Chains A and B, each alone.
Chain A
């Protein structure tokens, strides 16, 4: 069995784990990052893309609002390329309590969230699709953030500084030597091989799954209640600004324009299983009705797909109840030396995407305390790879780049403008045999046709380049179609159903994939 040694083993490759890896690598520590799946395949890859201004929490949770606005300002500098500076609006619709707006103003002032009231007429000039009967409107610095791009940038940056990234490596055992955690055994999900990692400190950054990893380390009472939320992507930008309802946070009250789509979210239902991705038709219906309250005619727009994410809501069974109520939405850093007398093991969970950098900073501070070393954090100042210029992402950049090379470059996915060169590079670099991994890297198949045209092409290229057998290539295609269907059918209606039928025609009619040799 292969044995690797490192300063820090990070388990969990979401934004938090990747952020910890980047932070630790910047501080000169040797790091290994492992995830049971691909990076950002869990909660991080399953959110709406909102970089909070803090406005949402200004009344309900002032501390979260303060953290959000501080991190919002930092990420605009260091992760500029991942951020689309859409701005945000809070609007009082006829469905909202008109008294909330004044509390909102006070909340923003007290938490330092930039907030400017504008006339409803001005708001409607900027966002003409928004409900015309709004009575008040406030401008805040919300933005949208591409979480995949962020996680890749974090992991590439860390790799450039020597970190080792191990996707598809599941932690199957956490090793204890008395009161000290000494590393973990990882199983390669693709080959089945196991490797040993000896680490000076082990970080559990597995979010909603943190309780399971703590259990593996023999630590009790780390309870994370997965809160399941659904989000629906609409096939174009119904709005160009993040639109929030000006009310106490509830279901379906945000529309986030991100890339070429807009995402409405979300719900909050307790679930016992963080891998529960059930979407109920009633939830979809309610979400579409919520969309109507913000953008009349929402139901006539085309829905692309629906997905669920699970928030990690931390409940410390060792703390008393009143305390936990207050901290559930905030993040939780557990240094198990202090909490359980188990040294060199740290759990970070809870929190939200907007504050991942802060969570990583606090975690690596704790790592350094465990190591007895003093290494200052620099993630607030060091730009991520790709963000050096400080220019935020602009919708249309990709199109402009493609148009410059239109004649010379083959486009494999027209919806998301993925070129053959980029696809081939990604296959060669990641050595993946999974089209869903490629989707997360390149957005291949994520546009309006949901892979109808690009997936046969990508399968052919993957087969040719990736050294896959026909059986493996066929399986990759069929797996992708099933994975796609999972998020398609609960929101299938109107023009998107027409699209789905055309895709059926291609796959079931023209190619007849159902009868591929088995």
Chain B
């Protein structure tokens, strides 16, 4: 049996872009449903909002750099979004976080200056806006810092992190504290659950305190609790008498899970729906409009009708854009045309790993209002957009956030196609 449901807008994909688009539309009163095959990119992401980190040399002031990029690369997502919308989206997002379910937790930063935060291997990575729990790691104010790990967390190596920070001119050292867990392997999520427990935190601080010297900052793996990271950081700073900051490492990402929690709470608060485990398996469209999509989910199949659709399914990483064994690309959800695909005889990849790969900028072809080519009511957000190289230029979350925000506003304002406008 197939159920039929009707919404103003259906968003496909529950990464940052999809959740932002859904939340923003729900806040504006639309009936919204976010459908996703599974949890999106949030749990993999360090959850810093990187607007523009490299262009290709390091960007210190993302605002002006963004304006230059908009002029220089017409096919870049930011060229369709513009600096002002990115700025609005950042402010909106920090408001959503502040009103969210994690008490006191916030994001800091903006387009004026990139923060430079240590990665788990000790590179100072530029980000425009970051969780407050990471902000004290910003390089200019870092002073003397001690990077702390525990042998049980195989995903964080404090000595290597500190050694590379020293190479970058930071006064850093490291300690590894021998904490016993019930199993030898812990990931960041397991540690975060411990940090949520005040008794465990007290024990942790008692172990660590005697090992700290002249350090004025303490860097820890990004695992300072899931429920109350603000409180955990404050407690640690109080007990250790030093500024504390989180350093993101391999997935699963605790800050990313917090981001997922914040955005889904906001979506639900305005009666938006989120359905995970609902892969879109069929689409009903006439020449220029998608009218409905069908999903196959536990229990029953369902058909979702909507006036507008947001495609926020990601790029090659999510599988929504596929390169098949004959090296031909496809958009797999709605069968939309792609932009940026190298010609049939041109290379897809180059032999040097740390070079720009020719397929990297492939995405769903869109017009200047992020509308998928050949459609009137399908809008594209996030990594499905063409023209960017998110990891290399440090722009992934910035594009996800601002394009999700932008398409929500375009849909809410009843964006018209040039043909509609003329009529």
User: Are B325 and A515 in contact (CB-based, < 8 A)?
Assistant: no
Partner-contacting stretch, out of A139-147, A429-437, A482-490: A482-490
Residues 465-518 (chain A) with a chain B CB within 8 angstroms: 469-471, 473-474, 477-478, 481-482, 484-486, 489-490, 492-495, 497-498, 501-502, 504-506, 508-517
User: Are A509 and B391 in contact (CB-based, < 8 A)?
Assistant: yes
Q: Is B319 engaged at the interface, CB distance under 8 Å to the other chain?
A: yes
Bound complex: CA A438 to CA B326 (Å): 33
CB distance from A24 to the nearest CB of B (A): 41
Residues on B with beta carbons closer than 8 Å to the beta carbon of A456: 120-121, 155, 157, 249-250
Residues on B with beta carbons closer than 8 Å to the beta carbon of A486: 351
Bound complex: CA A459 to CA B123 (Å): 15
The 8 Å CB contact of B46, one of A489, A504, A509, is A509
Closest to B322 in A: A494
The 8 Å CB contact of A409, one of B120, B182, B184, B251, is B184
Q: Is B139 engaged at the interface, CB distance under 8 Å to the other chain?
A: no
User: Are A510 and B249 in contact (CB-based, < 8 A)?
Assistant: yes
Q: Is A5 engaged at the interface, CB distance under 8 Å to the other chain?
A: no
Residues on B with beta carbons closer than 8 Å to the beta carbon of A176: none
Instruction: Tell me which of B119, B156, B183, B318 has the highest count of chain A C-beta atoms within 10 A of its own C-beta.
Output: B119
User: Are A508 and B391 in contact (CB-based, < 8 A)?
Assistant: yes
How many cross-chain pairs have Cβ atoms below 8 Å apart between A and B?
157
Bound complex: CA A460 to CA B354 (Å): 21
Q: Is A461 engaged at the interface, CB distance under 8 Å to the other chain?
A: yes
Q: Is B13 engaged at the interface, CB distance under 8 Å to the other chain?
A: no
User: Are A511 and B120 in contact (CB-based, < 8 A)?
Assistant: yes
- Chain B's interface: helix, strand, loop or mixed, by majority? loop
The 8 Å CB contact of B316, one of A299, A463, A482, A497, is A497
Residues on B with beta carbons closer than 8 Å to the beta carbon of A407: 182-184
Bound complex: CA A427 to CA B354 (Å): 27
Closest to B396 in A: A509
User: Are A410 and B184 in contact (CB-based, < 8 A)?
Assistant: yes
The 8 Å CB contact of B317, one of A406, A498, A517, is A498
Bound complex: CA A49 to CA B327 (Å): 28
Q: Is A464 engaged at the interface, CB distance under 8 Å to the other chain?
A: yes
User: Are B317 and A505 in contact (CB-based, < 8 A)?
Assistant: yes
Q: Is A237 engaged at the interface, CB distance under 8 Å to the other chain?
A: no
Q: Is A453 engaged at the interface, CB distance under 8 Å to the other chain?
A: yes
Bound complex: CA A460 to CA B163 (Å): 11
User: Are A457 and B123 in contact (CB-based, < 8 A)?
Assistant: no
Residues on B with beta carbons closer than 8 Å to the beta carbon of A299: 324-326
CB distance from A406 to the nearest CB of B (A): 8
How many residues in A have their beta carbons less than 8 Å from beta carbons of B? 57
Q: Is A121 engaged at the interface, CB distance under 8 Å to the other chain?
A: no
The 8 Å CB contact of A515, one of B125, B155, B159, is B125
Given contacts A457-B155, A463-B157, A492-B349, contact A514 B354 (CB under 8 A): yes
Partner-contacting stretch, out of B24-32, B164-172, B206-214, B272-280: B164-172
Bound complex: CA A474 to CA B240 (Å): 31
User: Are B120 and A510 in contact (CB-based, < 8 A)?
Assistant: yes
User: Are B157 and A460 in contact (CB-based, < 8 A)?
Assistant: yes
Q: Mark B299-317, 1 if CB is under 8 A from A, else 0.
A: 0000000000000000111
Q: Is B323 engaged at the interface, CB distance under 8 Å to the other chain?
A: yes
Q: Is A102 engaged at the interface, CB distance under 8 Å to the other chain?
A: no
Residues 5-30 (chain B) with a chain A CB within 8 angstroms: none
Bound complex: CA A494 to CA B317 (Å): 10
The 8 Å CB contact of B123, one of A461, A482, A506, A511, is A511
User: Are B164 and A474 in contact (CB-based, < 8 A)?
Assistant: yes
Given contacts A473-B160, A510-B119, contact A492 B396 (CB under 8 A): no
User: Are A516 and B324 in contact (CB-based, < 8 A)?
Assistant: no
Residues on A with beta carbons closer than 8 Å to the beta carbon of B167: 470-471, 517
Bound complex: CA A495 to CA B320 (Å): 11
CB distance from B412 to the nearest CB of A (A): 31
User: Are A510 and B46 in contact (CB-based, < 8 A)?
Assistant: yes
Closest to A504 in B: B391
Residues 377-430 (chain A) with a chain B CB within 8 angstroms: 406-412, 420
Residues on B with beta carbons closer than 8 Å to the beta carbon of A504: 317, 391
Q: Is A210 engaged at the interface, CB distance under 8 Å to the other chain?
A: no
Q: Is B390 engaged at the interface, CB distance under 8 Å to the other chain?
A: yes
User: Are B326 and A412 in contact (CB-based, < 8 A)?
Assistant: no
Q: Is A285 engaged at the interface, CB distance under 8 Å to the other chain?
A: yes
Bound complex: CA A382 to CA B8 (Å): 77
CB distance from B15 to the nearest CB of A (A): 12
Q: Is A288 engaged at the interface, CB distance under 8 Å to the other chain?
A: yes
- Nearest 9 A/B pairs, CB to CB: A460-B157, A470-B163, A501-B317, A485-B353, A489-B349, A517-B167, A508-B391, A509-B391, A299-B325
Other contacts beyond A459-B160, A508-B354: 17, CB < 8 A: A299-B325, A303-B325, A409-B184, A453-B250, A456-B120, A469-B163, A473-B163, A485-B351, A485-B353, A492-B349, A493-B323, A493-B326, A505-B317, A509-B394, A511-B121, A517-B123, A517-B167
Listed A/B pairs (25) with beta-carbon separation below 8 Å = A406-B183, A410-B154, A410-B185, A453-B250, A456-B120, A457-B154, A457-B250, A461-B157, A470-B160, A470-B163, A470-B166, A474-B121, A477-B121, A489-B349, A489-B350, A494-B323, A494-B325, A501-B315, A505-B391, A506-B251, A508-B391, A509-B394, A510-B249, A511-B249, A517-B167
By a beta-carbon cutoff of 8 Å, the part of chain A in contact with chain B is: 281, 285, 288, 299-300, 303, 406-412, 420, 453, 456-457, 459-461, 463-464, 469-471, 473-474, 477-478, 481-482, 484-486, 489-490, 492-495, 497-498, 501-502, 504-506, 508-517
